[in-house]
Structure 1
Amino acid sequence: MSVPSPPTLEAIRRVPKVLLHDHLDGGLRPATVVELADEVGYGGLPTTDADKLATWFRGGAHSGSLVRYLETFSHTVGVMQTPGALARVARECAEDLAADGVVYAEVRFAPELHVERGLALDAVIEAVIDGFRAGSAGTGLKIRALLTAMRHAARSLEIAEAAVRWRDRGVVGFDIAGAEAGYPPTRHLDAFQYMQRANGHYTIHAGEAFGLPSIWEALQWCNADRLGHGVRVTDDITVDTDANAILGQLANYVRDVRVPLEMCPTSNVDTGVCASIAEHPIGLLRRLHFRVTVNTDNRLMSGVTLSSEFAALVDAFGYGWPDIRWLTVNAMKSAFIPFDQRLTLINDVIKPGFASVCGDG
């Protein structure tokens, strides 16, 4: 019997992967930012050298502050204000994910951020969907959109309505994002209730920079299907000197009902949630069998791919192919497409893809 090859970065790129938490405006190619800035007349870039610009974005991301991290998006959003720019960014996003071996992706964007030049919300959505379709054509990637509302603004119901309106045309769900402190998810309760009445799916950024109250509201008041990040659930877990974990009521609930956690390790290090990948809560939560998934968050700002995120976990926690497969199947189970489509991808794509490196199904 052949011995499986180790999960190196190159080997991880070759296996099928699933991505649930990736921001369109956080994944641009640096050269594209420069070219679009010139094309649309955006003059705010700190440099027009693509390599230096990539370094600048990563420097801002590594500040250890979520607020500072979010400030870098003013430049990517600034160049994404025309149908052509939006379609190009979406197309390149799909191409880059397909090249990294991603077979299913839900990429989120906030339509309300792309109307500075007069575009209607539907025009923004249409351009992005067209770009996804063009970029994924002929690849093994199935890519869908999540529409995000900004939690500090007041357009969440409008965005939720758009998510339902576009649900059979490439959009699979709704989300809220932005700084958590001072902007609890219950501010947008009407939007979440609308999604529930429409039998829609939604995820909520919660438990990233703010703690247990954010997670509790997202689940118990807003009934989120998934949690964006959710790392602060470990605030409700005590580990004793013998490494035994004692779960509080909220942590027990999250694990018991299998709430999917969209974890983004490198991004969390960048924003100061933890000091290193080795200290990231994903290690404990995976050991305790929470419904953990692995994601990129913002590929440009953090300088990552989904493959590199898995490779970092291999280095930090000694994960092998069974761990990577377990995390991948978790993500596919938690996707917002219909059950039969999820099952087909698991049985016909993911399991055979991992069998080729793991030696089993």
Structure 2
Amino acid sequence: MSEKLTEERIRQVPKVLLHDHLDGGLRPQTIVDLAEESGYTELPTTNTDELTAWFHGASHTGSLERFLETFGHTVGVMQTRQALVRVAAECAEDLAADGVIYAEIRFAPELHLDGGLSLDQVVEAVLEGFGQGRDRAAERGHSIRVGTLLTAMRHAARSREIAQLAVRYRDVGVLGFDIAGAEAGYPPTRHLDAFEYLRRENAHFTIHAGEAFGLPSIWEALQWCGADRLGHGVRIVDDIEEFGDGKVHMGRLASYVRDQRVPLELCPSSNVQTGAASSIEEHPIGPLTRLRFRVTVNTDNRLQSGTSLTGEFAKLVDAFDYGWDELQWFTVNAMKSAFLPFDERLSLINGQIKPGFARLKWASD
């Protein structure tokens, strides 16, 4: 690689984000503002610098369960229509400023009902916010397309209801469905009714699997539930054995995932925080990329991880010496795997992503 890719350079290329939680990407000042407006008094501090540090510290415990506790505060201030519109608009603006041209942002409508909103009102507020954010980004010269995935909580019992909500709004910005939450003790097969409904409706869905829990979670998500993508899926590496002589043995599940080009929504920084990987340098994205699985790179929770998609790419460049070709490969993988019609995916790949990378690569030569 002839050029060391800096964050400034990486920010300029068109990027695609498939796995990012709305309640994991709030601006710290917005949390403070919304807490004051709503009377939420549980924040550990109202100093934005201290609050930022608190979120980062509370998220670096190596425990998925502890990591998930931080969302009590972000969700706590997202209980009104105005709050949801603001958070969604700022999300779109922040991503556009980072060079993201296409994003699928997920959130759980059932977590935003404490202020008296209905599920439909929650979804409509978020979609309105994304529209506002897209328009404000365009005024600054940034182009972004943002859709949403509706998430059901795997420990709750509303997945069929949320799946129906996703289908009801799929022509106006809802692109698919997801389940999230602690994996251990809550297998995806508890929600088969929702997944069977979605398949009958020809709807897309991804499943959080293979993050804190291993191969059985991935197997159930794919072979029982029929997931289109794997949210994280990082533990698929447990079914792969690499030998010192360069030979690789893959189990039947890993072979299936690679052969079927199942997209892996990998989130390097988040995986380190929750203990799914020991470090960026030791993250399974290295061997999974080398073995040409359908790898995509994502942020998961930009607030808790103190990251951006540019930042995730920069960490991988430092850890694995990746260049423009690898970053373009990750980006095209993500666009191929998006929950958009084929012609629209192809248009973004050939009309924006490949030309955008070509300009940067040409300028580097």
Alignment of 1:248-327 (within 5 A): 248-327=251-330
- 1-structure distance, mates of 2:83, 2:246: 51
Q: Aligned to 1:352, what secondary structure does the other structure show?
A: helix
| Structure 1 partner of 2:9 | 11
Q: Aligned to 1:147, what secondary structure does the other structure show?
A: strand
| Structure 1 partner of 2:156 | 153
Letter in 2 for 1:149: A
- 2-structure distance, mates of 1:129, 1:144: 8
- 2-structure distance, mates of 1:243, 1:277: 22
Q: Answer yes or no: is 1:215 the counterpart of 2:222.
A: no
* C-alpha displacement of 1:123: 0.3
- 2-structure distance, mates of 1:214, 1:118: 35
Contact 1:29/1:300 (<8 A) preserved:
yes
- 2-structure distance, mates of 1:122, 1:354: 39
2:117 to 109, 116, 119: 119
Letter in 1 for 2:63: S
Letter in 1 for 2:331: T
**More deviation, 132-141/339-348:** 132-141
Q: Would you identify which runs of 4 or more consecutive aligned residues in structure 1 move more than 4 Å?
A: none
Contact 1:4/1:358 (<8 A) preserved:
no
* C-alpha displacement of 1:273: 1.1
Alignment of 1:142-221 (within 5 A): 142-221=145-224
Q: Aligned to 1:38, what secondary structure does the other structure show?
A: helix
Q: Aligned to 2:149, what secondary structure does the other structure show?
A: strand
Residues 105-135 of structure 1 show CA distances to partners (whole Å, capped at 9, x for unaligned) of 0000000000011110000000000000000
- 1-structure distance, mates of 2:7, 2:191: 40
Letter in 2 for 1:170: G
Letter in 2 for 1:167: R
- 1-structure distance, mates of 2:59, 2:160: 30
| Structure 1 partner of 2:95 | 97
- 1-structure distance, mates of 2:83, 2:6: 35
Q: Aligned to 1:64, what secondary structure does the other structure show?
A: coil
Q: Aligned to 1:172, what secondary structure does the other structure show?
A: strand
| Structure 1 partner of 2:63 | 65
Residues 281-318 of structure 1 show CA distances to partners (whole Å, capped at 9, x for unaligned) of 00000000000000000000000000000000000000
| Structure 2, gaps ≥5 residues long | none
Q: Aligned to 1:228, what secondary structure does the other structure show?
A: strand
Contact 1:22/1:296 (<8 A) preserved:
yes
- 2-structure distance, mates of 1:132, 1:7: 30
Q: Aligned to 2:208, what secondary structure does the other structure show?
A: strand
| Structure 2 partner of 1:129 | 127
2:245 to 242, 245, 252: 242
TM-score for both structures, normalised by structure 1: 0.98
Residues 83-124 of structure 1 show CA distances to partners (whole Å, capped at 9, x for unaligned) of 000000000000000000000000000000000111100000
Letter in 1 for 2:247: N
- 2-structure distance, mates of 1:157, 1:64: 32
- 2-structure distance, mates of 1:242, 1:30: 49
Contact 1:23/1:298 (<8 A) preserved:
yes
* C-alpha displacement of 1:6: 3.3
Q: Aligned to 2:11, what secondary structure does the other structure show?
A: helix
| Structure 2 partner of 1:31 | 29
Alignment: residue pair count: 358
Contact 1:177/1:205 (<8 A) preserved:
yes
- 2-structure distance, mates of 1:325, 1:7: 13
2:72 to 61, 71, 74: 74
- 2-structure distance, mates of 1:252, 1:275: 24
Letter in 2 for 1:98: A
RMSD over aligned CA atoms reads 1.0
Letter in 2 for 1:291: R
Letter in 2 for 1:303: G
Residues 319-349 of structure 1 show CA distances to partners (whole Å, capped at 9, x for unaligned) of 0000000000000000001111100000000
Contact 1:237/1:251 (<8 A) preserved:
yes
Contact 1:206/1:229 (<8 A) preserved:
yes
Contact 1:176/1:204 (<8 A) preserved:
yes
Letter in 2 for 1:62: H
Distance 1:46 1:132, change over 3 A: same
| Structure 1, gaps ≥5 residues long | none
Contact 1:4/1:357 (<8 A) preserved:
no
Contact 1:4/1:359 (<8 A) preserved:
no
TM-score for both structures, normalised by structure 2: 0.97
- 2-structure distance, mates of 1:245, 1:13: 35
| Structure 2 partner of 1:347 | 350
Letter in 2 for 1:24: L
Identical positions, percent = 69
Letter in 2 for 1:146: L
